[in-house]
Structure 1
Amino acid sequence: MHFRYPLQKLVDLKSNEKIQAEWGLSEAIGLLHSERNELAALEAHKDEVQHQLGNASANRTTASQLMLLQDYVEYQNKEISRKMKAVVTAERLVEQRQQELSEKMKEEKVWEKAKEKAYAQFISMMQKKEQAELDEIALTRRVQTV
């Protein structure tokens, strides 16, 4: 006789939920890295434009070109601000997914412990049955030898 846990499908479901939560966390971390990389690229580009603006003001440049560069720097500042908000949102998503994963791991552990307890009870019951059979065989032999 082998062990068959009646709630195995529930244990499998909890395991699958944990795996899905891991995927969700991985996806959120990937999004966060992407947002941070884009923010870094925007900041680097803004620095480059500011450097161009500094060079333009030192050299002979028209006022309209200076205003255009200054407007572009302001646009870059707005984009950086928008991207910073996106990074904060992505960080919150990562935290949320970490919490979800933690909950799913706890749920899976609870059901795995229940399964282990049921298995231990099954083993104990099988050992008792086996011992009872051995005792019966020994008693039968003793009766036959007497």
Structure 2
Amino acid sequence: MLKFNYSFQKVVDLKTSEKNHAEMHLSSAIGQLNAEEQTLGRLFSDKSSLADSIQEQTAGAVSALQLQQMQDYVNYIDQCILQKRQDIQTAQVKVEEKKEKLTTKMLDEKVWLQARGKAFESFEKEEMLREQNELDEMATVRFASRAH
């Protein structure tokens, strides 16, 4: 029995490798998006804590300078939140780009795997036909030898 040897196996391997790289890039982009979202959550938590702290201090004696500093810090956190939201949008765009690239790579790989599958089916049919011809020839030789 012959061994199946696909002439374009290196292309199939390349397409599989490209798909695996696209998967890794998507995973990395998703990780970056998650990190940005966690940072945004921490900023909101910090802002909430600061607002509570300002409220507690305004109940007591606090100088106008301290209130101004706290308000400046709240404004700074608001700016950080705005920037982080932009970072998240950028990360979401990257994730979508990576998803599209992965989809393309998966389709490429699928096409080549299907081509290899069809070539293997053809090989199997040819191999079965060859084996059947050999068996038929053996049967004919046996029949001819018994006839003499």
Q: Name the structure 2 match of 1:69.
A: 70
Q: What runs of 5+ residues in structure 2 fail to find an aligned partner?
A: none
Q: Give the TM-score taking structure 1 as reference length.
A: 0.96
**Any idea what SS the aligned residue of 1:37 has?**
helix
Q: Name the structure 1 match of 2:144.
A: 143
- Alpha-carbon distance between aligned partners in 2 of 1:52 and 1:140, rounded to the nearest angstrom: 101
**Displacement, 1:130?**
0.9
Fraction of identical pairs, as percent: 38
Q: Name the structure 2 match of 1:55.
A: 56
Residue 3, structure 1, aligned to residue 4, structure 2? yes
**Any idea what SS the aligned residue of 1:109 has?**
helix
Cα distance per residue 1:52-102 (max 9 Å; x no partner): 222222211111111111111011100000001111111111111111111
Q: Give the TM-score taking structure 2 as reference length.
A: 0.95
**Any idea what SS the aligned residue of 1:61 has?**
coil
Count residues with an aligned counterpart: 146
Q: Name the structure 2 match of 1:19.
A: 20
**Displacement, 1:35?**
0.5
**Displacement, 1:2?**
0.5
**Any idea what SS the aligned residue of 1:3 has?**
coil
Q: What runs of 5+ residues in structure 1 fail to find an aligned partner?
A: none
**Any idea what SS the aligned residue of 1:88 has?**
helix
Moved more, 71-80 or 94-103: 94-103
